Amino acid sequence: MNDFTYYSPTKFVFGREVADRIGPEMAAAGFGKVMVVYGGGSAERSGLLARVRSSLEQAGIAFVEKGGVRPNPEVNWVRDAIALARAEGVEGLLAVGGGSVIDASKATAFGIPYEGDVWDFFAKKQPIESCLPIAVVLTIPAAGSEASGSCVISNDAENLKLGVAGDVFRPKLAIMDPTLTFTLPAYQTAAGVTDMIAHVCERYFSGVGAVPVTDNIAAAIICALLEAGPRALEQTDDYDARATIMWSGMLAHNDLAGCGRSLNPTARAGGWESHGLEHELSAHYPEIAHGAGLAVIMPAWMRYVWRSDPERFLLFASDVFGIEPAFEECESTEEAIEDAVTAAIDELQAFFQSLGMPKTLGDFGLTPDDVDALIDTLRLSKGEAFGAFQKLTMDDARAIYLSAF
Amino acid sequence: MNDFTYYSPTKFVFGREVADRIGPEMAAAGFGKVMVVYGGGSAERSGLLARVRSSLEQAGIAFVEKGGVRPNPEVNWVRDAIALARAEGVEGLLAVGGGSVIDASKATAFGIPYEGDVWDFFAKKQPIESCLPIAVVLTIPAAGSEASGSCVISNDAENLKLGVAGDVFRPKLAIMDPTLTFTLPAYQTAAGVTDMIAHVCERYFSGVGAVPVTDNIAAAIICALLEAGPRALEQTDDYDARATIMWSGMLAHNDLAGCGRSLNPTARAGGWESHGLEHELSAHYPEIAHGAGLAVIMPAWMRYVWRSDPERFLLFASDVFGIEPAFEECESTEEAIEDAVTAAIDELQAFFQSLGMPKTLGDFGLTPDDVDALIDTLRLSKGEAFGAFQKLTMDDARAIYLSAF
């Protein structure tokens, strides 16, 4: 087990109709005037924003509002929000939404106390040292941003989508009401489940050997999602399935599933190769849902790299899918291992497809000719090589993209 | 999944030799003058206290010291510590030790700002609303007190051992250095592992149906302990085994393994029947290690109550021990279920014994005549009935104690 720090200080209030408790919970946590951040019109149409406003008013929490966060939130929205928050004397953020809304809120929350341009943090010109407190009412379980030290923002002008990491902007409070997700479109539910499984896998395949308790927990989370995902699609108001997905999505990304798996004790475990490859996709094609991109990229990445550590993939095959190598039935040990690993990757990809996720980059309308442009911006964000499980050069990245057609 | 709140705000610094980082980590966390609390002489003899002092001095953290915390810490020690801390203007606590030292530190930390007697909290005359910040250098993994909202204190004058629960006294910082546990006596290691498994089981058998992700995590933790426990006993400086035990002990009791399993959303999951029965043992016989008591009591409790919810025990049998009911080979469904459940309880008890834990109350030198005195004080602390998986009357409690001979 490698050395690590683990810090997940968010208070979680989880259950039926807890959205109505946002006001008193924020008051108890000491929040002052907040900016309520949301995305498109769904939070308004569903009545959720009205409930949030009412709860805040009853608890005596002053607020201003800023909506319009798009999927793959853009830095110019964040700049506008920072200006508004400063003008209004905002002391904290309340994100009402999913990963995009939360990430936009996080960037606003650490952008406000910083004198320079907020993109400096994403361009790694500046470490993030200060941040206003953040609360969340989660509506889309997927990104795990309600507890993570992650924030990803797009910059359209530069064709970039970059992330930052840090404990200072982990939310203080997360209100998690699975009933809010009954009305999520199937595609979004499926993309969310895919993203969660990817968050666990990025840490699981981190280039570090077995860490039994963490590996067991990783399998525990993935297995719960394999079971709950299809149930939530079959019956959209299955509370237990929705609750399992919502809670698993948090656990998948608050770093619990990475403890002892990091090469650097103060950094997140894993090389995040699939996320790196996928982020270029959704930076270039904002209509591609992050989870849908991962459903294509992650299996392609796995098929490309598994030979770097077959033992790791065999453990995954066994603990997640109950697949063992059939040494007796194969001509060689190598063949048995390859069969088992391939079967596990096939199962994972088939699961994503069973949820309605795409299988190839062609399903998004891309052609192999589009890959060069992805590599150009990948090089800008990652340099000539990246990854922890297996170092990927730009040629490797190109080969993975091409293998996904 | 039942409604719940989950809040585990402790920052964990985990790894080789991290004990030397206590000073800078406390400074970074904003600690002022602290009282360093420890137990017997082992922290001094091992050189750990010297390392802690040196690290605090280098980081500019002022401190006073108070040692002498005994196993099953006593309220009079806490009263003395509170008086000393007030006289010295202490602003925080640093516990250097295991569960007893941490619990004594917690009681001191929430006793200091309270004007009345600290036992009022344990007698439930007063809710705990305020607490000085607490840091921990963990030396004995067992109680999980380094992150839990638990604190158990004995009162010799009243022959009582009572616990309180609350988020306000969860430690802010826990330094977890598995190398400190290389020299733990085998018995203490074994009692610790037993206590951890019991912490998971108390939540698992909480009277609530399946909560897949939480149940998976519970099995993940127990299975890691089943594997690491014997390894740590076989080779005392097996770092990975020690690290697995230390981290699992925290996870077993920071409430992660209870999420969605509570009947009351703001209370800990489970009825804590085995702990309730065991606490009487170690209150009457302070020489009985808590974990050793649990190794005897928990299987006896399981055998007495499993028929209240056989399905729950079958899931446990399957997920933890891979035991399935052999419906084809048995004369009746009932027999197959009973065989499987009994086999799982047998396996658990055999595991405790394999670690060197006792099997019966007779192993502690007790006789059935001693049970009445246990029931008398159990009634004082629990009333006429207690428990969540199955309500236990005092007659049930007596039957469980007697079955453990």
Q: How far is CA A63 from CA A33, A37, A57, in A?
A: 5, 10, 9
Q: Model confidence over B248-288: pLDDT tens digits?
A: 999 999 999 999 999 999 899 999 999 999 989 988 898 89
Question: What phi, psi does A12 have (nearest 5°)?
Answer: -105, 125
* pLDDT confidence of residue A286: 82
CA-based nearest residue to B302, from B395, B404, B218, B211 = B404
Cα–Cα distance, A380 to A159 (Å, whole number) = 10
Cα distances from A250 to residues A71, A141, A192, A203, A258, in angstroms, run 19, 8, 11, 14, 13
* CB-CB neighbors (< 8 A) of B13 in chain A: 5
Parallel, antiparallel or unpaired: strands A34-37 and A63-66 = parallel
User: How far apart are the C-alpha atoms of B214 and B219, rounded to whole Å?
Assistant: 9
Burial class (CB in 10 A: 0-12, 13-18, 19+), A333: exposed
Which of A216, A243, A244 is opposite residue B220, by nearest beta carbon? A216
Distance CA B271, CA B261 (A): 11
CATH class of this structure's domain A186-403: mainly alpha
Q: What is the mean pLDDT of residues B128-139?
A: 97
Q: What pLDDT, on a 0 to 100 scale, did the predictor assign at position A100?
A: 94
Contact A3 B14 (CB under 8 A): yes
- Residue A27's pLDDT is 98
pLDDT given for residue A162 in this prediction:
87
Q: Is the pLDDT of residue A275 over 90?
A: yes
Q: Which pLDDT score is estimated for B69?
A: 97
Residues from A contacting B (CB-CB < 8 Å) are 1-16, 18, 178, 212-214, 216-217, 219-221, 223-224, 227-228, 239-240, 243-244, 247-248, 251, 256, 259-260, 265
Residue A213 to residue B5, Cβ atoms within 8 A: no
Q: In this structure, are residues A327 and A389 in contact, taking their beta carbons and an 8 Å threshold?
A: no
Mean pLDDT of chain B: 96
Question: How does pLDDT run across A73-121, given as a tens digit for each residue?
Answer: 999 999 999 999 999 999 999 999 999 999 999 999 999 999 999 999 9
* H, E, C per residue of B261-292: CCCCCCCCCCCCHHHHHHHHHHHHCCCCCHHH
Strand, coil or helix: what is B51? helix
Domain ranges of chain B: 18-176, 181-403
> So what's the pLDDT on residue B111?
98
Residue A71: pLDDT band (50, 70, 90) is confident
pLDDT at A101 (0 to 100): 97
Half-sphere exposure of B381 (CA within 13 A, CB side): 29
Residues of B in contact with A247 (CB under 8 A): 1, 213-214, 259-260
pLDDT of residue A396: 98
The three-class DSSP label of residue A298 is helix
Smallest Cα distance from A139 to chain B, Å: 17
Q: Identify whether the C-beta of residue B94 lies closer than 8 Å to the C-beta of residue B136.
A: yes
CA distance A17 to chain B (A): 10
- Chosen for mutation from B6, B200, B239 (greatest number of chain A CBs closer than 10 Å) is B6
Q: Is the pLDDT of residue A210 over 90?
A: yes
pLDDT of residue A60 exceeding 90, the answer is: yes
**pLDDT tens figures, B189-199:** 999 999 999 99
- Angstroms from A50 CA to nearest CA on chain B: 23
Quick check: B217 and A217 CB within 8 A?
A: yes
Q: Where are the alpha helices (DSSP H) in A264-332?
A: 273-284, 290-305, 310-321
- Which DSSP string corresponds to B84-113? HHHHHT--EEEEEESHHHHHHHHHHHHHTT
Distance from CA of A405 to the nearest CA of B (A): 34
Q: How far is B179 from chain A (nearest CA, A)?
A: 12
- Chain A nearest-CA residue for B248: A213
pLDDT at site A247: 98
Distances (CA, A) of B275 to A360, B119, B247, B253: 54, 20, 21, 13
For residue B48, give the H/E element and its range: helix B48-59
Q: Is this structure's pTM higher than 0.95?
A: yes
Does the distance separating the beta carbons of B239 and A14 come in below 8 Å? no
Q: What is the pLDDT of residue A381?
A: 83
The alpha carbon dihedral of B42, B47, B50, B54 has a sign of negative
Q: What pLDDT score was predicted for residue A337?
A: 98
Considering only CB atoms, which chain B residues are within 8 Å of A227?
212
State the smallest CA–CA distance between residue B331 and chain A in angstroms: 30
* Chain B residue whose CA is closest to A215: B220
Do A186-403 and A18-176 fall under one CATH topology?
Answer: no
Q: How far is B344 from chain A (nearest CA, A)?
A: 20
Which residue in B212, B216, B240 is closest to A1 by CB distance?
B240
CATH class label, B18-176: alpha beta
Confidence of residue A159 (pLDDT cuts 50, 70, 90): confident
**Which of B152, B110, B106, B105 lies closest to B130, judged by CA?**
B110
pLDDT per residue as tens digits for the range B32-91: 999 999 998 889 999 999 999 999 999 999 999 999 999 889 999 999 999 999 999 999
Average pLDDT over residues B134-161: 93
Helices first, then strands: H and E counts in chain A:
15, 11
- The residue of A2, A8, A204 whose CB has the most chain B CBs within 10 angstroms, and thus the best one to mutate to test that interface, is A8
Residue B283: per-residue pLDDT: 83
State how far Cα A337 lies from the chain centre: 30
- Name the interface residues of B facing A (CB cutoff 8 Å): 1-16, 18, 178, 211-214, 216-217, 219-221, 223-224, 227-228, 239-240, 243-244, 247-248, 251, 256, 259-260, 265
Average pLDDT of A224-248?
A: 98
- List, as own/partner pairs, every contact residues A184-188 make where C-beta atoms lie below 8 angstroms and the sequence separation is at least 24, other chains included: A184/A140, A184/A236, A186/A233, A186/A236, A186/A356, A187/A289, A187/A292, A187/A356, A188/A140, A188/A142, A188/A289
Inter-chain Cβ pairs, chain A and chain B, closer than 8 A:
118
pLDDT digits (tens, 9 = 90+) for A165-183: 999 999 999 999 999 999 9
Q: Mean pLDDT across the stretch B321-349?
A: 97
What is the spatial distance between Cα A293 and Cα A271, in angstroms, rounded to a whole number?
17
Angle, vertex CA A364, rays to CA A358 and CA A369, nearest 5 = 125
Check A213 against B219: CB less than 8 A apart: no
Is there a contact between B405 and B362 (Cβ–Cβ < 8 Å)?
yes
- The single-letter code of the amino acid at B293 is G
In this predicted structure, the answer to whether residue A53 has a pLDDT above a threshold of 90 is yes
Cβ of A213 within 8 Å of Cβ of B259? The answer is: no
What φ, ψ does residue B304 adopt, rounded to 5°? -80, -30
Q: List the single residue in A4, A12, A259 with the smallest CB-CB distance to B7.
A: A12
The region of weakest confidence among A6-10, A207-211, B272-276, B282-286 is B282-286
A156 min Cα distance to partner chain B (Å): 36
The SS3 assignment for B151 reads strand
Q: Does position B171 have pLDDT exceeding 90, yes or no?
A: yes
Fold classification of B181-403 (topology level): Dehydroquinate synthase-like, alpha domain (1.20.1090)
Listed residue (A99, A104, A197, A169) closest to A139, CA to CA: A99
